[in-house]
């Protein structure tokens, strides 16, 4: 099995069951050392995400309008939005390996391990959707994560934007969702959702940490200071750094953020 040709096939797979099965077959062979590196295989920039074949895509602000979280419909919509994030994250991790080919096997191993986690997360959340009688694709989704991949075709920008900004924001948001869910009367499904979100939160710390490691490698390659992070994020997401309450300082520190960075982000002393 050839590395980059197979990654492109997984990235362009047009159904979740196909994408996840292809990845698991590939990753098993990769871990067994049965992959050939076809370094001359051409790299393409994908013009649309693979979920376009089964999801309706809308503006991100429109997709954020949800029913109350205490009811079944609100919980289904929450799970659907998480499923979309995890499904998109599979492609983000695979695209890093597919696109940035000169960083050696450690880079490959890191991001394929992340992709393996994201596949597992997606299938876990999809299973909860199915328990509700729902499925991934029932509700409209947005292209924000796909757009982030298309807009960051250089390693430094990709590592700053995807793991250190977008995924790190998830480290802040998930505890707030967990707190809200715990305030409702406990049900079997709420307990299952809480357990799933806690697994995702714990494992996403490692994903952001891997991004932090390769962001710093990219900085060293370009002989630039780590502070360029804020300039990069401001370029792609203007005015996105008003200091806020609710920053998960503990998780961000475990994921590589420095205290001086957190002071620029958090209103609370980290």
- The pLDDT tens digits of the residues spanning 99-143 come to 999 999 999 999 999 999 999 999 999 999 999 999 999 999 999
Question: What is the C-alpha end-to-end distance of the chain, expressed in Å?
Answer: 47
**What is the sign, positive or negative, of the torsion defined by CA atoms of 173, 178, 179, 180?**
positive
**pLDDT score, position 245:** 81
Q: List, in order, residues 6 or more apart from 30 with CB less than 8 Å away.
A: 3, 112
What's residue 67's pLDDT? 72
The pLDDT score that the predictor gives to residue 64 is 66
Rounded to whole angstroms, what are the CA distances from 120 to 60, 70, 113, 172, 176?
Answer: 25, 26, 11, 21, 23
pTM of structure: 0.95
pLDDT tens digit string along 252-266? Answer: 999 999 999 999 999
Query: CATH assignment of 56-265, given 1.20.1260.10, 1.10.1040.50, 1.10.3720.10, 3.30.70.260?
Result: 1.20.1260.10
d(CA 179, CA 91): 29
């Amino acid at each position: 099995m050839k590395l980059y040709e197979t990654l492109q096939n997984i990235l362009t797979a047009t159904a979740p069951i196909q994408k996840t099965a292809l990845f698991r077959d590939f990753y098993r062979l990769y871990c067994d050392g049965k992959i050939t590196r076809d370094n001359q295989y051409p790299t393409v920039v994908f013009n649309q995400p693979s979920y376009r074949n089964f999801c309706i895509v809308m503006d991100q602000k429109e997709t954020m309008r949800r029913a109350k979280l205490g009811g079944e419909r609100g919980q289904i919509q929450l799970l659907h939005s998480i499923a979309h994030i995890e499904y998109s994250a599979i492609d983000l991790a695979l695209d890093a390996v597919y696109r940035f080919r000169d960083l050696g096997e450690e880079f490959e191993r890191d991001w394929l391990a992340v992709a393996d986690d994201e596949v597992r997360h997606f299938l876990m959340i999809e299973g909860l959707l199915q328990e509700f009688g729902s499925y991934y694709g029932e509700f409209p989704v947005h292209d924000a994560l796909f757009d982030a991949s298309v807009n960051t075709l250089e390693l430094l920008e990709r590592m700053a934007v995807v793991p250190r900004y977008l995924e790190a924001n998830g480290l802040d948001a998930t505890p707030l969702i967990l707190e809200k869910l715990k305030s409702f009367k406990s049900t079997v499904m709420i307990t299952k959702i809480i357990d799933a979100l806690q697994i995702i939160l714990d494992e996403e710390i490692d994903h952001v940490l891997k991004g932090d490691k390769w962001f710093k490698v990219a900085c060293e390659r370009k002989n630039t200071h780590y502070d360029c992070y804020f300039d990069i994020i401001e370029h792609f997401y203007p005015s996105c750094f008003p200091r806020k309450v609710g920053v998960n300082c503990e998780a961000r520190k475990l994921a590589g953020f420095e205290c001086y960075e957190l002071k620029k982000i958090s209103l609370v002393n980290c």
